[in-house]
Amino acid sequence: MDTNGQPVIDDGSDDELVITSTDTPSEPVESTPSASGIESFIPYRHVAEILLFRRRHQLLTDRAELTCVVQVQCLQACDLTGLEAVVRSEQTGEELVVPLETFNGMENETAEFCLYTGVEPGRYSWTATFSNIDPAGKSHPEISFTMNFDYAPHTIGLAVWDVPMVFVGDEQLCFKAGAKCSNGCPLNGLPLLIKDSTGTLVNTVFLGNDFWPGSDGLFWAEVTIPAPLTAGLHSFFIEAEGSQSEGELEAFGHLPVSWESTVLVSAKPDCTINLLIVDKTTGYPIVGAKATCHPYRAESDVDGRLEIPANAGMISMMVQAEGYERSITEVLINGDADLTIEMDLKPVYLEDM
């Protein structure tokens, strides 16, 4: 920032640009031109995302018990602990109120809680809802997420992980997928069908012979599919067809199962920001700092440096590192830029010692 509190522009000189972090204003402000002709930054509206997912499940005598959590993330990294989400059964209409109890600097999460299916085999659904409409302060419009669970004596559970939060549309999308039988049946060799949002088959992979390390019976495979050509949110589906032509799977009659996942495809960004993250007092580089320039994320190396893509214009760069105050910096960029973020240590209070 200059002496008038305005963002600093990289003019292409050899001097390194140093930006001291500022926090996001608590109230939205109007965009007004400054003496230098640069418009002030307008914080985007508080938008949140919600997830309801199960961490594990077990089959009881006549139903299934699902151990679940709700996770809420505000794109402006709001601490929402103490607020509540509501989980509603789509079959019975019963509601469970679960408070958000932890905040790790990005996601707010509830404690674990249990949901139960009915006694009849079939699909059960629960919808988690969260809203925080506060006319006098920060507001988060209502958001919801529906989780499905197919209950049967032997079911196949699908898992998908290492899906990038965002990727450029001219790249291949690579991730991992796995499957596990609720009763421990061997699923090695089971084909997984990968389909796009139109239902078109784009790839078929076969589960390997080994469990994912640290798991209990999760067979897995690497998956690569072509990226969607247009920017925006895209869904893809992973399907296991269930019963096989021979062997133990057919004997137990595994039901077909499908998993839907969503990925954000971005057009190729205009710029690359070379970011150096240092301790404000010592000037030493900070290792493992996490930078977010929505929707992109990156982590600093042993020299405190990272590269993160961005689009030209006014950007908001959020940086977090263990033991340091969160940094949110607004700056106008017109091309590739070299920026330095200086971070303040968190204060240490006597009661914390």
**Domain boundaries along the sequence of the chain:** 17-30+270-346, 48-151, 156-266
Q: Give me the residue label for tokens 């150096």.
A: 276
State how far the Cα of 318 lies from the Cα of 281, in Å rounded to an integer. Answer: 19
Look up residue 171 and give its DSSP letter: S
Instruction: Decide yes or no: CATH 1.10.220.70 for domain 17-30+270-346.
Output: no
Please give the pLDDT value at position 67. 94
Please give the pLDDT value at position 173. 82
Q: Which pairing describes strands 113-116 and 64-74: parallel, antiparallel, or unpaired?
A: antiparallel
Q: Are 330 and 314 in contact (CB under 8 A)?
A: yes
CA 325 and chain centroid, separation: 22
Neighbours of 305 (CB within 10 A): 18
Q: Are 312 and 270 in contact (CB under 8 A)?
A: yes
139 CB contacts (<8 Å, ≥6 apart)?
A: 46, 132, 133
State how far the Cα of 247 lies from the Cα of 256, in Å rounded to an integer. Answer: 16
Residues 23, 28, 30: CA angle, nearest 5 degrees: 115
- Beta-bridge mates of residue 52: 70
Q: Does residue 295 have a cis bond before it (omega within 30 degrees)?
A: yes
Q: Does residue 43 have a cis bond before it (omega within 30 degrees)?
A: no
Please give the pLDDT value at position 311. 82
- Helix ranges, the chain (H): 248-252
Pick among 3.30.470.10, 1.10.10.10, 2.60.40.1930, 3.30.70.20: CATH of 156-266: 2.60.40.1930
Residue 333: φ, ψ to 5°:
-120, 145
State how far the Cα of 350 lies from the Cα of 353, in Å rounded to an integer. Answer: 5
Neighbours of 4 (CB within 10 A): 9
Task: Say yes or no: do domains 17-30+270-346 and 48-151 share a fold.
Answer: yes
Please give the pLDDT value at position 350. 63
Helix, coil or strand: residue 260 = strand
Among residues 257, 256, 258, 192, the alpha carbon closest in space to that of 225 is found at 192
**For every one of its 353 residues, what pLDDT tens digit does the chain have, with 9 covering 90 and above?**
455 555 444 444 444 333 333 344 444 444 444 444 444 433 446 788 999 989 888 877 667 899 999 999 988 888 899 999 999 999 999 999 999 999 998 899 999 999 999 888 889 999 999 988 765 566 788 899 999 998 876 678 888 888 876 666 667 788 899 998 877 778 888 899 999 888 889 899 999 999 999 888 899 999 988 877 677 778 888 988 754 433 343 333 566 788 888 877 776 788 889 999 999 999 999 999 999 887 788 899 999 999 988 888 888 899 999 999 999 988 888 889 899 999 999 887 666 55
| C-alpha distances in Å from residue 159, one per residue of 56, 180, 194 | 11, 8, 13
What is the model's pTM?
0.43
Q: Are 324 and 286 in contact (CB under 8 A)?
A: yes
Neighbours of 72 (CB within 10 A): 25
Please give the pLDDT value at position 106. 87
List the CATH code of the domain at 48-151.
Answer: 2.60.40.10
- Beta-bridge mates of residue 253: none
Look up residue 248 and give its DSSP letter: H
Please give the pLDDT value at position 250. 38
Residues 79, 330, 108: CA angle, nearest 5 degrees: 15
Among residues 43, 28, 42, 36, the alpha carbon closest in space to that of 11 is found at 36
